Amino acid sequence: MSPGLRNRNVIKKKKDVLVLRAKILDLIRLFFKEREFIEVETPFILPYIIPEAYIDPIKTEVGYLHTSPELCMKMLLGLGCNNIFQICKCFRKGERSKIHLPEFTMLEWYHVGIDYNKLMEECELLIRNICYKLFNKEKINYQGNEVDLATPWNRISLTNAFEKYANISLYEAVDKGIFEEILVYKVEPKLGFKQPVFVKDYPASMAALAKLQDHNPNIAERFELYICGLEIANGYTELTDMAEMKKRWETENQKRTQMGKCVYPFPNGYKINIPDCSGVALGIDRLIMLFSDKDRIDSVVSMLSEDI
């Protein structure tokens, strides 16, 4: 069979999923528009990248492909756009697995005047609403697990998640340099099977651009949403202190240098007046995997550049 014909047959099989995907995208837009969020679009090709130790952008002749719309959306927040959301492709070099695509679809939104606790509630509402509007119920069946989406969902601190599911404490794992091994092989496979779960309160060293807690600066107000072992969303109360932000970018670049990786230019001279707000990035493809009961990310996108 010619590759073209094979692709056509694959697409035919995918039609139901693609219809569902389009519906979910509509429902996401409806949810935010009802709440008077502005849908925005920001450039994909950027001269700067928010440096992250473990995320590699794809470089083009004319700039970097963005790894998330975070930087530009924060610039818009600084310009006075309050509640904003965006659905866009993001690009990350070398990320490919059953649940990773180097080119994937992200939903990112920022809500001014709320903290990460309120933002978790907004995540709950969004996903529960989508489910209810699609299936007229609050339960999904994913790979043989019935997941109850009735709110509120569980919340567990990262420290407690390690205590509960791993035979090593979070701090010991970090000290020994095996944080990712324990998280990926021991903790994540247990998260969010009966009910979605928010893992929250990350050590300051994993704050990304989250605000540190006022009463405990060792803890960052960051959360990750897990459903059936899948990491679905990452959000936080946003850091608004520009000087601290630049320090963190420099730290990330230093970690890259130590690993022998290239460093990335960030907008050093730029001042962003970020209002008090919270923001979250949600992987649309993985969300669609959940609603369509597919175990591979390949099954929920119309096609892959590697197949064309």
Partner 1 sequence: MYTASDLRKGLKIVIDNEPYIIIDFQFSKPGKGQALYRCKLRNMITGVIVDKTYRSIDTFQPADLEERKMQFLYKQDDQYCFMDMETYEQVFLNEDQVGDAKNFLTDNLEVEVLFFEGKPIGINLPNFVDLKVIKSDPWVKGDSVSSNTKPVTLETGYIIRVPTFIEEGEKIRVDTRTGEYVTRIKE
Q: Closer CB to partner 1, residue 84 or residue 183?
A: 183
Closer residue to partner 1 (CB): 14 or 179: 179
**CA distances from residue 66 to 44, 50, 59, 164 in whole angstroms, order as listed:** 5, 9, 9, 36
d(CA 30, CA 32) in angstroms, rounded, equals 6
CA 197 from chain centre, in angstroms, equals 14
Nearest-angstrom CA–CA distance, 85 and 301: 21
**Count of C-beta atoms within a 10 Å radius of residue 298:** 19
Smallest CA-to-CA distance from 114 within 69, 158, 82, 79 is with 82
Shortest CB 80 distance to partner 1, Å:
29
Q: Which residue has the tokens 């999923």?
A: 17
The CB-of-100 to partner 1 minimum distance in angstroms stands at 6
Contacts of 249 (CB under 8 A, 6+ apart): 50, 51, 266
Q: Report the residue number, 87 or 235, with the smaller CB distance to partner 1.
A: 235
Q: Which residue has the tokens 């850091």?
A: 239
Q: How far is the CB of 33 from partner 1 (least distance, A)?
A: 27
Nearer CB in complex with partner 1: 64/179? 179
User: Of 21 and 92, which has the nearer Cβ to partner 1?
Assistant: 92
Q: By CB under 8 A, name the binding residues for partner 1.
A: 52-55, 94-97, 100, 179-181, 183-185, 188, 206, 208, 224, 231, 234, 259-261, 281
Q: How far is the CB of 248 from partner 1 (least distance, A)?
A: 12
Min CB(56)–partner 1 separation in Å: 8
